[in-house]
Amino acid sequence: MKAALLKVAREDFIPSEYRDYAYEEVPLPLPGAAATISCPHSYPLFYEPLGLDRGQRFLEIGAGSGYGAAVAREIVGGEGRVVSIEIDPLTHEFARRNLERAGYGDVLLVLGDGWLGYPAAAPYDRIAVTAACPGMPAPLIAQLVPGGRAIAPLVEDSRQVLTLATKQADGTTRSEPLCEVLYVALRRKRAGR
């Protein structure tokens, strides 16, 4: 994890007017509606409990600037696969440019509704949802391999709890609450749009 964070230049994934704040522990705004790049500590907070490792197939919901996908690509290596979904066209384009410029053109960046996942590249070993949702999206669990793990900030009453779910052999999940967090809400594509 540390090697991946040191290799990917976070400042290359941030709008130029915020580059001086690249390593500050604050979320920074991105092009698009309510889009941000998470605080630097957020990436190990998500990826370490997942056990993200070399050779795995990883799905990220909420591409943001592309930084998380680049860090994940460094971890899974060339023998792994990173797919990242972004719902906002402006944010998607920003991530695409950043990933290509930084040499991560092999990350599959999808414009779409992350709640639905991306079945065309499934199954996945690990899934990270980087926006708050009312529960772990069933389509994502369906795209996990048995023994696979998904992590997401789940809304519980007035708080968000980062939760790790492990898919069992029978298709059910075992969930473990990790800590309280604060993320933007997961956006869904509206019918007819």
The residue annotated as part of the active site, out of 16, 38, 84, 158, is 38
Closest by Cα among 152, 130, 142, 153 to 64: 130
User: What would the two tokens of residue 179 be?
Assistant: 């800590």
Q: What is the DSSP letter of 31?
A: S
CB-based contacts of 60: which residues, under 8 Å, 6+ apart? 68, 69, 72, 82, 83, 84, 85, 127, 128, 130
Q: Is 175 a catalytic residue?
A: no
Active site residues: 38
